[in-house]
Amino acid sequence: MVLSSLQIGLAALGAAVLAGVALHGAWVSRRSSPRQAAPEPGGAAPSVLDERIEPSLDAAALELAQFPLPQPEKKPGLDALLDAIATIALDGPVSGDAALAALPPTRRAGSKPFAVEGLNEENATWELPVAGRRYGLFQAGVQLANRAGALNEIEYSEFVMKTQAFSDAIGGTPDFPDMLDEVARARELDQFASAHDAQLELLLRARSTAWSPGYVQQNAARLGFVAGAIPGRMVIPAAGPGLPPTLGLGFDTQAALAEDPTQAAIRELVLSLDVPQVARSEQPFDRMRELALGLAEAMDGVVTDDRGTALSLLALDQIGADLSHLYDTLEQRDLAAGSALARRLFS
């Protein structure tokens, strides 16, 4: 059958229309897909899990092994500002081994941390009991307040029972502070803490195209974030060992755990700062602000408050000024942000 020129023209036009529809569909699909991480220059770097390392005697490795590992921060001792403390008099020195055996199985009274310290006979310093050392005096303490609230009468009674049991086991005599006085002191401290507890969040929202988890992680890593302990969380590590992260970055956990992360769509990130946990000298809000604006520029996002209102530079300046006043108030109360006492109280 011979096709007329009209039939041929119509067929060509139909093919062109179909091609145009297909191209438009592909364009729409691509535009609606989450942004993906860009390939790194030179190809993807090999993962540590992909590399096979044969055992060998490596001089460089031996040299590296001579560097001491960072030591965890020493736990802060009991403090009269933050703890109700009972002294435990002894008839004679008690070994650290005996003290350790007498400690209660749990280190809490209700929701409050409980601790026992001994006065080391050698250096006359208070410390948690250590095997092989000798102690001439003990003290037990329970924290007056934390983010779970103020110490109450039931928790104080549990503190008394734990301390009395420990004292009986080592042959000591405890001297407890008045319960009503300590509970009243706990309430006052809790009121102060509640009025000055700042956990700041800045939201970063996508302007148009959503982000994939890989895209978020790649851009955040370029600004110094590392993987956190749970999926969907990254952190700026603390300046010293044993300290809480300086800043956190969170996104939808389900997106982080998706079977196909390239198709998981993220439209919002949360940049967080636990103000009392991070020292003022780290300038955490300045870093938070810089990182939020940097991510917004790199990822085509906008920085907003928790209601979705875009934050201007002036609004960010006001937040910084308010935080400066908060830092001053905490320091005047001997609870400077990032200090051991502040981290205990605001936990």
Report how far apart, in Å, the C-alpha atoms of 190 and of each of 149, 172, 195, 272 are.
6, 32, 9, 23
- pLDDT of 39 reads 78
Q: Comparing 22-26, 106-110, 197-201, 212-216, which segment has the lowest mean pLDDT?
A: 22-26
Q: Which pLDDT score, from 0 to 100, does residue 53 have?
A: 33
Give residue 88's identity as a one-letter amino acid code: I
Beta carbons of 156 and 183 less than 8 angstroms apart: yes
pLDDT of residue 42: 57
**Average pLDDT estimate for 281-298:** 96
Determine the Cα–Cα distance for residues 81 and 143; give it in Å rounded to an integer. 9
Q: Which two tokens stand for residue 249?
A: 């970055």
Q: Pairing mode, if any, of strands 145-146 and 199-206?
A: unpaired
Those residues with Cβ within 8 angstroms of residue 337's Cβ, 6 or more apart along the chain or in another chain? 275, 276, 277, 278, 279, 280, 326, 327, 330
Are residues 155 and 110 in contact, defined by beta-carbon separation less than 8 angstroms?
A: yes
Q: Which helix (H) or strand (E) holds 19?
A: helix 5-32
Q: How many CB atoms lie within 10 A of CB 329?
A: 12
For the record, the structure tokens of 12 come out as 């060509």
pLDDT band at residue 111, thresholds of 50, 70 and 90? very high
Whole-Å CA distances, 306 to 29, 204, 220, 268, 344: 30, 10, 20, 11, 27
| Three-state secondary-structure class, residue 136 | strand
Res 44: pLDDT: 46
Q: What is the pLDDT of residue 13?
A: 52
Q: What are the tokens at 191?
A: 């009121």
Predicted confidence at residue 202, as pLDDT, reads 96
Q: Which domains does the chain have, with CATH numbers?
A: 83-194 (3.30.1400.10), 196-345 (3.30.1400.10)
User: Angle, nearest 10°, between helix axes 213-222 and 284-299?
Assistant: 130
Structure tokens at 6: 């009209």
Mean pLDDT of the chain: 85
pLDDT classification of 261: cutoffs 50, 70, 90: confident
Question: Tell me, what's the pLDDT at 35?
Answer: 79
Q: Rounded distance, CA 111 to CA 236, Å?
A: 29
pTM of the predicted model as reported, rounded to 2 decimal places: 0.79
Element spanning 301, H or E: strand 301-304
Tens digit of pLDDT for each residue in 64-87? 334 344 444 456 699 999 999 999
How is 223-252 classified by DSSP, letter by letter?
Answer: TT-EE-SSTTEEEE--SSTTPPPSEEEE--
pLDDT above 60 (res 36): yes
